[in-house]
Structure 1
């Protein structure tokens, strides 16, 4: 998506998961976007510290999707409770809209539900990284990608640990949050899909358990390949590459697997288009 500053298109900041602990951070993100020429509106639920406002959050999401003056919706929350809005979103309304929804981490549940229920193309991206990255590079990547149509925010390097090519429509996100969809109608069809996985928390045992649970999800045996992002806590504590653990659990030499250090929870994380087709090949020779 390319948003032109001169269009003065509105973008919305929402929070479908845990509320922002710092109101100042919300205003700082808003200020950055406004300096880039965007008209920013804030969801009134961003600072509501309650578990029981999923109805209100979903109503706001539905309103923002229906509002033709809003060009994009950025969720700046994360945590645990985003799946509370899933059965309250108006997927038939959302299906008719052509605006992008952006989020990461716990918003994996919403991102993949929008894919499965509304056939939306969404993006795994936290716009708060524009604030978190002190170098200013993240703002530059965002600006050139969203205003000029460049691919700066999407140019990601991948290293294959198994196979040499991955292609298909991408789904997934945070592994723990993706697994919340298991057994529900919101889980996307896995057949011929490329599954992206990353994690902020979780040690060796937790990830071992989640990989095994994932292996048992219906349709997992039909996926086209796996893309791995950063596994922040694990990579800080353990030397064994996370892809080795995954390969030992899956025992499938024919399944292509590739990893990047450029998508995950870091302050300079790239964006990944979900629900869209991707093709990645390793350079041989």
Structure 2
């Protein structure tokens, strides 16, 4: 597998898969994208099953708490190859105490892969904390499959890898201006053996600190991303992870894509790289940037809770897990 993000997934001979579409958090705000996403998946030859409450609306949510909880449980009972969320937004943290984690665990053991990002981090973290089972950080229906433009080729190839059990890892290039972590013993060559990969949306993770739904991971590899958060807020959230003692227990911190913010005149040079430099000065583990994952078109799929290995050579980074599933 190539370490370049342009080649980190590859397509395979097509076979039809069962994909269950449900809405565990925010309500749909783009029904045209919803229809496009379903049509695209069907055009790929897959059987798409849509949850009966997928288009429900209750305030900003896709149905009230009971409706969305039932949708999650139906997804688990569907027997689908993939349970794919329509979108993130907000709502899953309200449901965490009521989720039937035994049902979710049984579903995963039977082969269902739960896929999503953003607010879905709450569900993924809770499943990892409660069951130790693997879920997948990846695309959602609306923004990835339902986009007005053609879906991103890398994202689609990685999703195809997941469907057909061929995913082995994700590679990417580090930024030119920085190494893999100036506080690493050797910034140009890093190898981290079998470690638990976990993380997701930074803001959601921070909200789980101190709750029973925050995974207690030692010697892990933590990846984070976010959207619409100014660099000072990103720094504040990383500081919370630092002061809570979470970062010191990890073997590496991987920063994905942080997008959708605007710098102000009074920042006077304070920017995202400032945050990276500051957090590197506070921890003794590699801080690796530019992971192609987040609220962006190009995103790899990552097994949350799986044992992975991490290697960096010069500007090439690679997370790999092989055919563990």
What interval of TM-score do these two structures reach, taking the shorter chain for normalisation? 0.7 to 0.9
Cα deviation digits, residues 35-75 of structure 1 (max 9, x gap): 1121111123332221461222122212221233x221011
C-alpha spacing 1:92/1:189, structure 2 compared with 1 (3 Å):
same
Partner of 2:52: 44
Kept in 2: contact 1:157–1:262 (CA 8 A)? no
Which residue among 160, 185, 206 is the counterpart of 1:179?
206
Q: 1:241: Cα distance to partner?
A: 6.4
Kept in 2: contact 1:156–1:270 (CA 8 A)? no
Q: 1:153: Cα distance to partner?
A: 8.2
Partner of 2:26: 18
Distance between the aligned counterparts of 2:121 and 2:282, measured in 1?
26
Partner of 2:8: none
Unmatched tracts of structure 2, length 5 or more: 1-10, 185-189, 316-325
Distance between the aligned counterparts of 2:136 and 2:295, measured in 1?
14
Which residue among 226, 230, 234 is the counterpart of 2:257?
230
User: What is the SS of the residue equivalent to 2:84?
Assistant: strand
Relative to its length, the structure with more helix (as a share) is 1
Matched, 1:160 2:173: no
Cα deviation digits, residues 205-264 of structure 1 (max 9, x gap): 211221222212254421221010011135888876635414424634521111125111
C-alpha spacing 1:49/1:144, structure 2 compared with 1 (3 Å):
closer
Kept in 1: contact 2:196–2:217 (CA 8 A)? no
Q: 1:100: Cα distance to partner?
A: 0.9
Partner of 1:34: 42
Distance between the aligned counterparts of 2:162 and 2:271, measured in 1?
34
Taking the TM superposition and a 5 Å limit, the aligned residue runs for 1:253-268 are 253-268=283-298
Which residue among 96, 102, 114 is the counterpart of 2:115?
102
Q: 1:3: Cα distance to partner?
A: 10
C-alpha spacing 1:110/1:243, structure 2 compared with 1 (3 Å):
farther
Q: TM-score, structure 1 length as denominator?
A: 0.86
Cα deviation digits, residues 184-224 of structure 1 (max 9, x gap): 10000132111111111111221122122221225442122
Partner of 2:66: 55
User: What is the SS of the residue equivalent to 1:74?
Assistant: strand
C-alpha spacing 1:73/1:153, structure 2 compared with 1 (3 Å):
farther
Once superposed, which parts of structure 1, at least 4 consecutive aligned residues long, lie more than 3 Å away? 2-6, 146-159, 234-244, 249-253
Kept in 2: contact 1:124–1:173 (CA 8 A)? yes
Q: TM-score, structure 2 length as denominator?
A: 0.76
Kept in 2: contact 1:191–1:220 (CA 8 A)? no
Distance between the aligned counterparts of 2:128 and 2:28, measured in 1?
26
Matched, 1:191 2:218: yes
Taking the TM superposition and a 5 Å limit, the aligned residue runs for 1:126-145 are 126-128=139-141, 129-132=144-147, 134=150, 137-138=153-154, 140-142=156-158, 144-145=160-161
Which residue among 248, 251, 255 is the counterpart of 2:281?
251
C-alpha spacing 1:210/1:191, structure 2 compared with 1 (3 Å):
same
Kept in 2: contact 1:161–1:243 (CA 8 A)? no
Which residue among 94, 110, 113 is the counterpart of 2:126?
113
Distance between the aligned counterparts of 1:38 and 1:185, measured in 2?
37
Cα deviation digits, residues 70-113 of structure 1 (max 9, x gap): 22101121212221221121001222222110111111111111
Structure of higher RCO (CA pairs closer than 8 Å, 6+ residues apart):
2
User: What is the SS of the residue equivalent to 2:313?
Assistant: coil
Which residue among 75, 81, 84 is the counterpart of 1:64?
75
